[in-house]
Chain A
Amino acid sequence: MNTGKLRVFSAVVLCAIFVLGLFAGTVSPYPYAKQFRECPNAAPSSAHWLGTDSLGRDLFARLIYGTRVSLLLAPAAALLATMLAGILGGFAGLVGGWCEKVILAATDLSMALPLLFVLLALRALLPLDISPVLSVMATFTLLGLLGWPSSLRVVWAAAKNLRNSDFLLLARATGSRRSRIIVRHLFPNLRPVLFAQFWVSIPVFVLTEATLSMLGLGVIEPLPSWGNLLRGLEDISAVSANPWRLSPLVLLVLVVICFQLILPAQEETA
């Protein structure tokens, strides 16, 4: 299979998983928190396709709803991070001078901070017993607010190249307004870079959320996410009794690999 076909295949797989998560309410046979107390740790059957967890909740339902949480909110966090990087990086690259120095120094400082340590520190500021929905919002907002520095450097470099371009000089010379220059000339040229950064950030945020949730500091139960579903792997006897418990991990790995396979196409356009 050549690279082009592999990219199309990855895009199709990603779309299918995304649609599955989006219509979780329709696809899933049960609500994600419904307990079947008579059959905890059940093996796969026609009633429970992937079996049940230790609390008797249907694993397939939790996987589908978890996909929705992870695959809808990771792009939202990536969008926030890319927007911050785009605004600050674009501003620094185009304006230059002391603004550029201040923004780049702040970026260097932020990049020096270890992401996971800072995430733990900020998460520790919030109470541990917040509602599950609030925990989802807090986790992904923190990811979005802290994930911009590496993207900023790339956007800044692209914007700096544009600053000295002839077409911008011409636009300025013909008296174009600043807003028109930004909307008509700058944004279309920065769009491929921004899109590539957005695309790169998604799998990073999916993986970070998984690690945070596995440590009990991300998405809180009973709301499922790929991260807190992976906590089920800690129980080795349950995993060996029902290997289908590995399905969240398989799905996560598949999605991250698909993102990696699609990315080169975006880089080429950038």
Chain B
Amino acid sequence: MLAAVGLLGGLLSASLVRFSPGYGVDEQELDFRLSQASVEAIRNSHRIHSGLLSYYGHYLAGAIHGDFGSSQWLQRPISSLIKERFPVTAKSALLGVSLAWLVALLISFAGVFFRGFYFDVSTTLISAVLIALPAAVVAIFSVYLRAPVFVAIAVVIFPKLFRYLRNLLNHAYSQPYILAARARGISQSRILFSHVLPLASPALFALLGVSLAVAFGAAIPIEALCDSPGVGQLAWQAALNRDMPLIMNLTLLVTLITVAANMLANIAQERAL
């Protein structure tokens, strides 16, 4: 599956880069210090891979060796840019996902254990408002409050996660076997760890994969507006500078991570069933 997505996504990226306006035109050709022979050599270097399949083959051959081409805008190898920027985003995304899960789980459990009208209404209202905020607005507020990038990512993920978790737990706790367990005097923690979580775990694993995908999506506006030098900011700058090879490679990278995360979640889900 991962290989299929990689190959198809690569073909899609190659097609977009190959057919993007301005492909094969190099601004170096305008440098008046270059001789006619040098300009011709630059043009020839672009002409070699002018066909889509030839371009795709060249791209794949390079990708196998870790060479994803060069950024037109920064004039640097894309692989070195990714190596530099990816750890920043990965760290923010992982911390953001962890924080969002922690808070969502805590509030959902609190909601289940201390059922109360005001608690329910206030958490519903807060999650409804947070879900209605565009990720870019969350980023601006985090700049106002000088909060780290991962907190902004957590704020974007939290409401989506919380709604799902709360419904999942409410559904689990309304089952007759939970009532039977309570009637037998089994402790709350035992009910949670022995009866609720094992049954809910497949859905929780699936949700983990989805939340990672949401985190990478949210990284674009948040890193762009919070000035965090990660992959999201790089993608935004690449779009503003119309650097197609760079943005397509970043899209492919994030796609592969998302698919890999979902695959891992599926494997964990199957084990849990």
List A residues at the B interface (Cβ < 8 Å). Answer: 109, 112-118, 120-125, 127-128, 203, 207-208, 210-211, 214-217, 227, 230, 233-234, 236, 249, 252-253, 256-257, 260
Contact = CB atoms under 8 A, between A and B. Distances in A.
A211 B240 contact: no
A253 B16 CA distance: 35
The residue in B137, B238, B262 that gathers the most chain A C-beta atoms within 10 A of its C-beta is B137
A227 B221 CA distance: 12
B259 interface: yes
Most buried by A among B5, B20, B236: B236
Given A217-B239, A233-B140, A253-B129, A120 B259 contact: no
Given A117-B235, A117-B254, A125-B244, A252 B220 contact: no
Q: Which of A112, A214, A230 has the most CB of B within 10 A?
A: A112
A230 B250 contact: no
A128 B9 contact: no
Contacts of A260: 128, 131-132
Contacts of A121: 16, 239, 244, 247-248, 251
A211 B221 contact: yes
B217 A115 contact: yes
A153 to B, nearest CB: 14
A113 B255 contact: yes
Interface size grouping (class) on chain B:
35 or more
By secondary structure, the B interface counts as: helix
A233 B194 CA distance: 48
Interface of B: 5, 8-9, 16, 20-21, 128-129, 131-137, 140, 144, 213, 216-217, 220-221, 224-225, 235-236, 238-240, 242-244, 247-248, 250-251, 254-255, 258-259, 262
Main secondary structure of the interface of A (DSSP, over half): helix
A234 to B, nearest CB: 6
B238 A112 contact: no
B251 A109 contact: no
20 contacts: A113-B251, A114-B213, A114-B216, A114-B251, A116-B220, A118-B251, A121-B247, A124-B20, A124-B240, A124-B243, A124-B247, A125-B16, A127-B242, A207-B134, A214-B137, A215-B221, A216-B240, A217-B240, A234-B140, A253-B129
A191 to B, nearest CB: 26
Contact of A210 (B137, B248, B259): B137
